[in-house]
A and B are shown apart, each in its own frame.
Chain A
Amino acid sequence: MSFLGIDGLTAIRDSTVAIVGCGGGGSHIAEQLARLSVGRIYLVDHDRLDRSNLSRVIGSSAEDVGEPKTEIIARRLSWTRTDLVPISSRVQSPEAIAALQASDYVFGSVDRFRARDDIERVCRQALVTLIDIGLGIRVERNVVVSAAGQVVLSIPGEPCMRCMEVVNETNLARDKEEYVEGGAPDQQVISMNGLLASEAVNLFLALATGYSIGLPLPRYLVYNALRHELAPHPFFGTDSAICPHYPLEDAGDRVGVA
C-alpha cells in the first residue's frame, strides 16, 4: 500500500499541472510528475534545444538539438500514464494562458524574472497555485561567490513573489544577465536543479494528497549550494498573511464575454 493511500493516489491522478520552462528545472519536474502518474501535464516553452542545454535537460540527447523542448519531453515520457500536452509558445500566448488557468497547479522554472512575474499574474487571475523554482550562480575572477536558489509556494490570497521580494525592481532590471554570471552557457547545474525540482514536487505531493497534514508548508525555501543548505526563509514563514498585490476579489476577467 502506498504511503499516500488510495485517496492520495487518486488526487495525484486527478491533477492537471502546467510546467512553464522545460529546461534544466522543468525537465526534472516533468520526469517526476509523469512517473507519479499525474493526470495531465501541459508543457509550456517556446524554446528549442540548444547544444549547450544537453548538460542539464533530462532525457535530451544530441539527436534532439534544434527540436522544441516541450516535444522532446513529451516524447520521452509518452510511455507513462500521464497525458502530456506540448505547448511550444511563450507564456504570454493565448494557448499558454488557457492551459495555465485550466490547471490545478503550475510549476514555474524560468530564467527571467519578467516571465516569473507574468506566470504569477496569470495564475492569480485564475486562482491557481504556483510553485516556482529558480537558481543563479555568480562568478567573479574565476571564483564562485554565490550559488543560490529558491522554491516558492504562491497560493492565491497568500503572499505572492512580490510580497516575498523574489520579484522586485532590482531583479527585473537584472533580467539581462546570464544564467551563470560571468560563465559560459553550458553549465553543470543538473544536480542543483534536480534538488530544487524535487522539493517543488514534494510541495505538490503535500498539497495534493495532504499526507503531511498538520505540518505547516514552507512558503519560501532558500537554497545555498555553497553551504549545502535548503531552509525556510527567516522572514517569510508559514503564518497566514494577505497579499496586497493580488486581492482575491480582483481575480478573474472584469470584461466578460461579448
Chain B
Amino acid sequence: MIGPSRLHMPKALATTMRDDLARPRRIAAERVGIVLVRYASVYATNVIVVVGYEPAPDVAYVKGRAAANFDVRWLMTSAEKATEMKCGVLWAHLHEHSGSPRFSPTDMQTSRSICPALWLACPRFPQGALVLSDNQASALIVSDRQRLKSIDVVREIGRIQRTIQRDGEGRG
C-alpha cells in the first residue's frame, strides 16, 4: 500500500449516477443509489475502484423527516447482492450544486448508522458513502475499526481527468 486513499470512478458511470440521482421525484427530496466498489488489488487496498451503479427503486423510499428516507431492508438486500458480485457498496446521493460537496450532519448520521452494519455484514470489500455534486464528489469509507474516514483523492477517469476532491475542501 502506497500513497493516500483514493477512489477511481469512470466518468461515464459518474454521469449515469448524476443523471439518475437528479431525476424528478415525488417520493423523497433526494434520490439515493448503490455504487458497487472493490479494492484495486491486494497490494493497493488504499485504492477503491467503482465498477457499477444500481438506482433505488421508488418502493425503496419510506416516509420520514430526512431528505431521503429509504428502507434499510432494501439497502441490506442490495448489499447482499453486491457481495455475490464480489463487491462492496457506497450508498450515494447528489447535492445539486457545483464544487466539492460535503456530507451534511444528516448524511453523517445516516452513514454512521448504515455503513458499519454493511462492513460487519461483509468486511472483505469496501463499504461506505458517496456524495456527488454536479461536477465533483466526496467519499467516506469504513476503516477496520468500523469508523468512517474520508477518502483523500476522488478521481473521475476519462478523457479529461482532474483531481475532483481533496480532503478538507468543499461545501455542503
A251→B44 CA distance, assembly (Å): 13
Contact A207 B39 (CB under 8 A): no
Contact A155 B163 (CB under 8 A): no
Contact B163 A104 (CB under 8 A): yes
> C-beta contact mask, A143-159 vs B, less than 8 Å → 1, else 0?
00000000000011100
Contact A104 B155 (CB under 8 A): yes
Q: Does A208 contact B (CB under 8 A)?
A: yes
> C-beta contact mask, B1-40 vs A, less than 8 Å → 1, else 0?
1111010111011000000000000000000000001111
Q: Does A62 contact B (CB under 8 A)?
A: no
Q: Which of B6, B125, B160 contacts A102 (CB 8 A)?
A: B6
A257→B38 CA distance, assembly (Å): 10
Contact B163 A156 (CB under 8 A): no
For A127, the chain B residues whose CB sits under 8 A away are: 8-10, 40, 49-50, 157
Q: Does A249 contact B (CB under 8 A)?
A: yes
On whether A253 and B40 interact (CB within 8 A), knowing A102-B2, A102-B47, A156-B10, the answer reads: yes
Looking across the interface, which residue of chain B has its beta carbon closest to that of A242? B12
Contact A210 B162 (CB under 8 A): yes
Contact B41 A257 (CB under 8 A): no
Looking across the interface, which residue of chain A has its beta carbon closest to that of B163? A14
On whether A126 and B161 interact (CB within 8 A), knowing A16-B3, A101-B47, A256-B86, the answer reads: no
Q: Does B46 contact A (CB under 8 A)?
A: yes
Within 8 A of B (CB), among A93-117: 94-95, 97-99, 101-102, 104
A14→B153 CA distance, assembly (Å): 10
Q: Does B105 contact A (CB under 8 A)?
A: no
- How many positions in chain B have a CB within 8 Å of any CB in the partner chain? 41
Q: Does B51 contact A (CB under 8 A)?
A: yes
Mostly, the B contact residues are strand
Looking across the interface, which residue of chain B has its beta carbon closest to that of A250? B51
A252→B38 CA distance, assembly (Å): 5
> C-beta contact mask, A217-233 vs B, less than 8 Å → 1, else 0?
10000000000000000
For B161, the chain A residues whose CB sits under 8 A away are: 104, 129, 207-208
Contact A252 B2 (CB under 8 A): no
- How many positions in chain A have a CB within 8 Å of any CB in the partner chain? 41
On whether A128 and B42 interact (CB within 8 A), knowing A98-B2, A252-B49, A256-B125, the answer reads: no
Looking across the interface, which residue of chain B has its beta carbon closest to that of A207? B161
Looking across the interface, which residue of chain A has its beta carbon closest to that of B52? A249
Within 8 A of B (CB), among A124-172: 125-129, 155-157
Q: Does A213 contact B (CB under 8 A)?
A: yes
Q: Does A176 contact B (CB under 8 A)?
A: no
Q: Which of A7, A14, A128, A254 contacts B86 (CB 8 A)?
A: A254
Contact A101 B44 (CB under 8 A): yes
Contact B40 A126 (CB under 8 A): yes
Cβ of B116 to closest chain A Cβ, rounded Å: 16
For B162, the chain A residues whose CB sits under 8 A away are: 7, 11, 14, 208-210
Contact A253 B41 (CB under 8 A): yes
Looking across the interface, which residue of chain A has its beta carbon closest to that of B123? A257
Q: Which of B6, B9, B47, B157 contacts A155 (CB 8 A)?
A: B157
A47→B37 CA distance, assembly (Å): 36
Contact A257 B124 (CB under 8 A): yes
For A251, the chain B residues whose CB sits under 8 A away are: 38, 40, 49, 51
Closest 6 CB pairs of A and B: A252-B38, A256-B124, A126-B40, A101-B44, A254-B86, A102-B3
5 A-B pairs with C-beta separation under 8 A = A125-B40, A127-B50, A128-B157, A156-B10, A157-B12
User: A residues bordering B, Cβ < 8 Å?
Assistant: 7, 11, 14-16, 40, 42, 94-95, 97-99, 101-102, 104, 122, 125-129, 155-157, 207-210, 213, 217, 248-258
